[in-house]
DNA sequence: CGATTTAGGAGACGTTCCGTCTCTTACTTC
DNA sequence: GAAGTAAGAGACGGAACGTCTCCTAAATCG
């Protein structure tokens, strides 16, 4: 029995490892994902994983990044309407939620520690861009909106993602935008 | 060496177990809390724990409840001002955050599953009470506020608790109430 | 008040997974 | 072609899991 004597290396191997981690994530969830499971699925040894990522959390984060491609920053929506722009951002978050799954969200949230604060800044920057464009179009009186209001829609959606089990509905997102966010940014002295 | 031959039982023992769990939580945090650690601290065996709670998560939730006493529902604030009432609720949440600690929040959040949705309902009911009283006083035009706006302050505070490492500041809470919540409930047709 | 039942205290057990380590060998590099 | 690097495989000690069994203190009941 002459086994496959092709031995994977470097980037090709790494991609396989991350794919295996993702598959394992989908198969058994975050809490029951083990390094041994991922290694077995990728048909390799644990050492190969530990050589690249120091622990489960880092491996999972890397797998998510690999799977999800780039950040939201890379493709900030620009539909010509503030309402649609914000909804597009929220839909992107909802999409990720659906793809990733509840327990992964919580598992990662628990273990990434200070990396969480970064999420705020990214979202603040994205929303700032949307608001500046809206102000330039004359849709809103000014883009000088307090940061807390800027991130209101994404904060609320994140709250839904973290707290609710069911996926976000289109209605929830429009309520957030139409009943809360837009009133606050349009009526401002 | 005649050891203490007093053997604890029933409610007294249970209280000791929950105290031990709480102490362990403060000492080593959620992720490193073990059933063996709690049992050792309470000077008893694991079986005594497993006889009462099926797993770590349930034990910790029980310990939190035992520690925290009642729910917010038991003492809904009534200061005569909507602003102060809401702030009082938010301060209570902040207090608990400080007492419990970040990793416990995430750990519990990850493991309590469907119990999370319950939190929403509790907060919605509390806020509904506050709004009704405010409407009766004539502070706001109507208590008929959409549920999403009702729970806005508590949702935002929860988002801060989950995402930020630092404890909530008084300023954050007033921003949420003064810049976001009150404008939305006072100016309504 | 003695017999019976219940449940606490203690720890052994098999299991799983951790993270480290060692060893052989395929591939890369020079 | 020789030397170096890292993949593949698995052994290892350790921690904690959840189950189980034993002994006995305390509660219950006749």
Residue B69: enclosing H or E segment and its boundaries? Answer: none
pLDDT of residue A4: 56
Task: Determine the Cα angle at B103 with ends B97 and B108, to 5°.
Answer: 85
User: Mean pLDDT, to the nearest integer, of B49-59?
Assistant: 95
| Rounded distance between C-alpha atoms, residue A168 and residue A90, angstroms | 9
Least CB–CB distance from B110: residue in A103, A172, A180: A103
pLDDT of residue B71: 86
- Domain chopping of chain B, boundaries: 10-67, 71-186
Contact B149 A180 (CB under 8 A): yes
Is domain A10-67 given the CATH code 3.40.350.10 in the classification? no
Q: Percentage of chain B surpassing pLDDT 90?
A: 83
Per-residue pLDDT tens digits for B6-32: 899 989 999 999 999 999 999 999 999
DSSP-derived letter for residue A181 is I
Least CB–CB distance from A114: residue in B114, B162, B165: B165
**Two structure tokens written together for A8:** 């994977």
Picking from A31, A32, A110 by the largest number of B CB atoms within 10 A of its own CB, the best residue to mutate is A110
B176 contacts chain A (CB < 8 A) = yes
Residue B4 has pLDDT above 70, yes or no: no
Measured CA distances, A129 to A115, A142, A179, B1, B180 (Å): 22, 12, 21, 75, 21
Residue B189 has pLDDT above 60, yes or no: no
First-last CA distance in chain A? 79
| Rounded distance between C-alpha atoms, residue B87 and residue B178, angstroms | 10
pLDDT of residue A151: 97
Please check whether strand D approaches the CB of A147 to within 7 Å.
no
Q: CA dihedral in degrees (A156, A159, A163, A168; nearest 10)?
A: 50
Per-residue pLDDT tens digits for B103-154: 999 999 988 888 888 888 999 999 999 999 999 999 999 999 999 999 999 9
Please check whether strand D approaches the CB of A35 to within 7 Å.
no
pLDDT of residue A10: 86
Which residues have CB under 7 A from strand C? A 5-7, 9, 32, 34-37, 45-47, 50, 55-56; B 3, 7-10, 13, 42-48, 51
**Two structure tokens written together for A178:** 């139409």
CATH architecture of B71-186: Orthogonal Bundle (1.10)
Per-residue pLDDT tens digits for B77-112: 999 999 999 999 999 999 999 999 999 999 999 888
Residue B188: enclosing H or E segment and its boundaries? Answer: none
Q: CA dihedral in degrees (B163, B96, B186, B130; nearest 10)?
A: 150
In sequence order, the 6+-apart residues with CB closer than 8 A to the CB of B91 are B173
CA of B8 to C1' of D28 (A): 17
Contacts 24+ apart (CB under 8 A), A123-126: A123/A72, A123/A151, A123/A154, A123/A155, A124/A150, A124/A151, A125/A73, A126/A72, A126/A73, A126/A76, A126/A89, A126/A154
Least CB–CB distance from A152: residue in B107, B114, B180: B180
| Rounded distance between C-alpha atoms, residue A128 and residue A147, angstroms | 9
**Low-confidence residues of chain A: pLDDT under 50:** 1-3, 189
Residue B5 has pLDDT above 80, yes or no: no
Same fold yes or no, A10-67 and A70-186: no
CATH architecture of A70-186: Orthogonal Bundle (1.10)
Nearest-neighbour CA in chain A from B7: distance (Å) = 37
pLDDT of residue B23: 97
pLDDT of residue B1: 35
Rg (CA), chain B: 20
């Amino acid at each position: 029995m002459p086994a496959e004597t092709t031995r994977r290396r470097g980037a090709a191997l790494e991609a396989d490892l991350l794919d295996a981690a993702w598959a394992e994530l989908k198969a058994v969830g975050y809490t029951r994902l083990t390094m041994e499971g991922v290694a077995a699925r990728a048909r390799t040894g644990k050492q190969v994983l530990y050589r690249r990522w120091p622990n489960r959390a880092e491996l999972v984060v890397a797998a998510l990044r690999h799977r999800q491609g780039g950040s939201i920053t890379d493709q900030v929506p620009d539909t010509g309407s503030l309402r649609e722009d914000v909804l597009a951002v929220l839909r992107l978050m909802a999409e990720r939620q659906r793809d990733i799954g509840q327990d992964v969200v919580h598992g990662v949230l628990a273990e990434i520690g200070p990396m969480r604060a970064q999420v705020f800044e990214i979202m603040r920057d994205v929303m700032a861009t949307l608001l500046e464009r809206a102000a330039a179009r004359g849709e809103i009186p000014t883009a000088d909106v307090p940061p807390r209001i800027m991130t209101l829609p994404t904060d609320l959606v994140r709250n839904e993602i973290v707290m609710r089990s069911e996926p976000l509905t289109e209605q929830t997102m429009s309520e957030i935008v139409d009943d809360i966010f837009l009133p606050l940014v349009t009526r401002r002295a």
